[in-house]
Amino acid sequence: MIKKQDDGEVESKESEQGEEIEVDEDVLPSRAAAVHEQIRQEGEKELERDGLALLFSAIAAGLSMGASLMAKGIFQVNLEGVPGAFLLENLGYTFGFIIVIMARQQLFTENTVTAVLPIMHKPTGSNLLLLLRLWGIVLGGNLTGTGLASLAFSHMPVFDGATKQAFVAISQKVMENPPGEMFANAVVSGWIIATMVWMFPSAGAAKIWVIILMTWLVALGDLAHIVVGSVEVLYLVFNGLISWHEFLWPFALPTLAGNIIGGTFIFAVISHAQIRNDMSTKARAKAKADAKAQAKKQDNVR
């Protein structure tokens, strides 16, 4: 008897049979397959989470991402004239990611790869709706949080004039790219973040260093990220330096599209493709072994 799917539950072979996803690399055909299945398991958990819990976690992540702009601004002011200041200033970009990921808050660009693997495993309408629900809630929550962080930085008497001017300079640099370059930068950014997520199962205690190195690379390349960039661009909006229309275009829409394509349609598809044949080969070998065992059993009965 096939197990009936509950509302909000991801459709997969394992859920239909009442089994857990196998993540033990000793019984899987390759190490890559073990990593893939571990990330897919995480993706299923995220897709099935309560909507309100996702929303609050996503808002918290947006607020936490304000730490990236804050750290970069403070570093820029205090490292002026210091050799290698560019490298150290961009190290501040990593702060928000460290907080969000280590605190297990919901970040949109992580979910572009993690939550999409269950859909690639079983591309049904129900699974696609769960993915769109997750993306909508998390993106909305992230942008709400970044807006609150930018509003606080703009109007609360926390930072001196030099630091606020640094925030403006950092944010205006984001807006220097035309839409085409914004999109291209975001594709690369999405790919790097997806690579980081793929490295986590093997990182162990070095996870924080993986976060620092990969997100530092995003900062050094001046690559576009929809959540961190929203803190910066919304800071300009709330200070009357650009309009809401400019937030949406040339920033938000090209960046969002690039992050999704870089993290999903490039990295996730390729990573899924590399293990698909492994898993198919394993399934064929298992079916062949089962058939031989059944034939042997029948011969013994005769």
With pLDDT > 70 as the criterion, what percentage of the chain qualifies? Answer: 79
For the cut 50, the answer to whether the pLDDT of residue 1 exceeds it is no
pLDDT: which is higher, 145 or 34: 145
The pLDDT of 131-140, averaged and rounded, is 95
Flag whether pLDDT at 167 surpasses 70.
Answer: yes
Average pLDDT over residues 4-9: 60
**For residue 10, what pLDDT is reported?**
72
- Across the range 129-149, mean pLDDT stands at 96
- Mean pLDDT, residues 82-91 taken together: 93
pLDDT of amino acid 111:
74
- Given a cut of 70, whether residue 7 has pLDDT beyond it is no
Question: What is the rounded average pLDDT of the residues 65-70?
Answer: 97
| Mean pLDDT on 208-223 | 96
For 194-211, what is the mean pLDDT? Answer: 92
Percent of the chain with pLDDT over 90: 60
- Does position 288 have pLDDT exceeding 50, yes or no? no
pLDDT top residue among 9 and 126 = 126
Q: Which residue has the higher pLDDT, 174 or 12?
A: 174
Residue 302 pLDDT greater than 60, yes or no:
no
Q: For residue range 91-134, what is the model confidence (pLDDT) as tens digits?
A: 999 999 999 999 999 999 887 778 888 887 788 899 899 999 99
* Average confidence (pLDDT) over 180-201: 93
Average pLDDT over residues 79-83: 90
Mapping DSSP onto H, E and C, the string for the chain reads CCCCCCCCCCCCHHHHCCCCCCCCCCCCCCHHHHHHHHHHHHHHHHHCCCHHHHHHHHHHHHHHCHHHHHHHHHHHHHCCCCCCHHHHHHHCCHHHHHHHHHCCCCCHHHHHHHCCHHHHHCCCHHHHHHHHHHHHHHHHHHHHHHHHHHHHHHHCCCCCHHHHHHHHHHHHHHCCCCHHHHHHHHHHHHHHHHHHHHHHHHHHHHHHHHHHHHHHHHHHCCCCCHHHHHHHHHHHHHCCCCCHHHHHHHHHHHHHHHHHHHHHHHHHHHHHHHHHHHHHHHHHHHHHHHHHHHHHHHHHHC
Q: Is residue 284's pLDDT more than 50? A: no
Mean pLDDT score of the chain: 85
pLDDT interval class at 32 (50, 70, 90): low
What is the pTM for the complete model shown?
0.84
Residue 15's pLDDT is what? 58
Domains of the chain: 22-282 (1.20.1080.10)
